[in-house]
Amino acid sequence: MMPMPHRFLTSLAVHHRGQIYLFDAGEGCQITLKKAKLGIKPLRVVAVSHLHGDHCLGLPGLLMMRAQVPDPGPLTILGPPGIERFVSDLHELLRFFINYSLSFVEWHEESPEIPYEDELVRIRWGPVRHTALCLGYRLEEHPRPGRFSRESAEALGIPSGPLRGKLQAGESVKLEDGITVSPHQVVGPTRAGRHICYAVDTRPDDIVRRLCQDVDVAFLDGMFLPEHSAEAEEKFHMTVEEAACIASVAGVRRAVLVHISPRYGEEDLEKLAVAASRRFEKAEIGRDLRRYPVPYRE
Ligand SMILES: [Zn+2]
Ligand SMILES: [Zn+2]
């Protein structure tokens, strides 16, 4: 797929607590990042689906741009076998400057299901069904601590201040009268974090369904209209109907269909949206630079 004057290539930037987790870096993706005003320093991870140009040719420019800020911190690149060679060969040939540490995790048959985890999120991956080895991803925010019950704390006579903080952090505390209070007496059950799936350039498949099971938002390949399903099959992509079906079966809360074929102009997007929502009413067509807030479930 080629970048179009009116539509950029598919990338997803997840902005979470000041950090950015980027999925795919097609040609010119540093321009979109600039337009989105997300900054380049907070970029922590680039997860590349596969080594087709429309998903990875933006990497060199992105890496160069990141070296323009002082001390940007380490960057991890996840991707299929060959992603490290792709970047290091370009780095060596073009001799561009990098002022941060760059680490790679390449998928292989025995890869752990979770290739990346930090204090905020973890990322799962799995090979989907495309003409090249292609990875689908799922980003999971860590579960949040339970809700602190002020009423229970008052009833137990726990004074405001550090004791309450310790309980919320999961520690038992001893009150002045010698009574021990454990966290479960004042803190509710752990609350689930938010989950996002990113799976493009694939046929409908069990791994895609698993990666988007019950997620809050799934960004899925919806390259073709249902009437072009033969082409979707032949090129290993999905029609918007197929993507919407997967989202519906997997219990996705909201589906955003992306990687739209360049053959469809602005005027066709409504047609694509209608075809998708016939199968799943919470399905829509993704738009460049649009922000998709992900609210907590409660
Ligand atoms: Zn591809
Ligand atoms: Zn593609």
The pLDDT of residue 4 is above 90: no
Is 254 strand, coil or helix?
A: strand
pLDDT tens per residue across span 232-250:
999 999 999 999 999 999 9
Q: Which ligand is nearest to the CA of 202?
A: 1
Q: What is the pLDDT of residue 191?
A: 92
Distance 2 CA to ligand 1 centre (A): 11
Q: Which ligand is nearest to the CA of 131?
A: 1
pLDDT tens per residue across span 111-135:
999 999 999 999 999 999 999 999 9
CA distances from 146 to 143, 186, 193 (A): 9, 9, 11
Residue 58: left (phi > 0), alpha (psi -120 to 50), or beta? alpha
Element (H, E) at 85: helix 83-94
The pLDDT of residue 198 is above 80: yes
Measured distance CA(219)–CA(68) in Å, rounded: 30
Read off the pLDDT band of 169 (50, 70, 90). Answer: confident
Q: What is the pLDDT of residue 45?
A: 98
Q: Which ligand is nearest to the CA of 50?
A: 1
Distance 184 CA to ligand 2 centre (A): 48
Measured distance CA(10)–CA(123) in Å, rounded: 19
Distance 98 CA to ligand 1 centre (A): 28
> What is the total residue count of the chain?
298
Distance 132 CA to ligand 1 centre (A): 7
**Residue 71 appears among annotated catalytic residues:** no
Q: What is the pLDDT of residue 2?
A: 80
The mean of the pLDDT values for the chain is 95
Read off the pLDDT band of 297 (50, 70, 90). Answer: confident
Measured distance CA(38)–CA(20) in Å, rounded: 8
Beta strands in 119-244, from DSSP E residues, in sequence order:
121-128, 134-141, 173-174, 180-181, 195-199, 217-221
The catalytic residue among 54, 205, 216, 221 is 54
- Provide the token pair at 284: 């829509």
Q: Which ligand is nearest to the CA of 55?
A: 2
Q: What is the mean pLDDT of residues 43-62?
A: 97
The angle subtended at Cα 24 by Cα 18 and Cα 30, nearest 5°, is 65
Burial of 63 (0-12, 13-18, 19+ CB in 10 A): buried
Distance 222 CA to ligand 1 centre (A): 13
Distance 49 CA to ligand 2 centre (A): 9
Distance 281 CA to ligand 1 centre (A): 27
Contact in structure between 5 and 265 (CB atoms under 8 Å): no
Read off the pLDDT band of 185 (50, 70, 90). Answer: very high
Q: What is the mean pLDDT of residues 148-164?
A: 92
Q: What is the mean pLDDT of residues 205-211?
A: 97
